[in-house]
Amino acid sequence: MAAYEVIFCIVNDGFSDVVMDAAREAGARGGTVMHARGTANREAEKFFGISVQPEKEIVMILVPAEIKDDVLRALYREAGLKTDGQGIAFAMPVDDAVGVGGEQPAGDDEK
Model pLDDT for residues 5-47, shown as the tens digit of each residue: 999 999 999 999 999 999 999 999 999 999 998 876 667 667 7
Cα–Cα distance, 10 to 13 (Å, whole number): 9
SS3 105: coil
pTM over 0.85: no
pLDDT at 109: 60
Span 33-62, average pLDDT:
81
- What would you measure as the largest C-alpha separation in the chain, in angstroms? 58
The gap from C-alpha 11 to its chain's centroid, in whole angstroms, comes to 9
pLDDT at 65: 96
Tell me what percent of the residues of the chain surpass a pLDDT of 70. Answer: 79
HSE of 90, CA atoms in CB hemisphere, 13 A = 1
Nearest to 2 by CA among 75, 89, 71, 91: 91
pLDDT at 73: 98
pLDDT at 102: 58
pLDDT at 2: 84
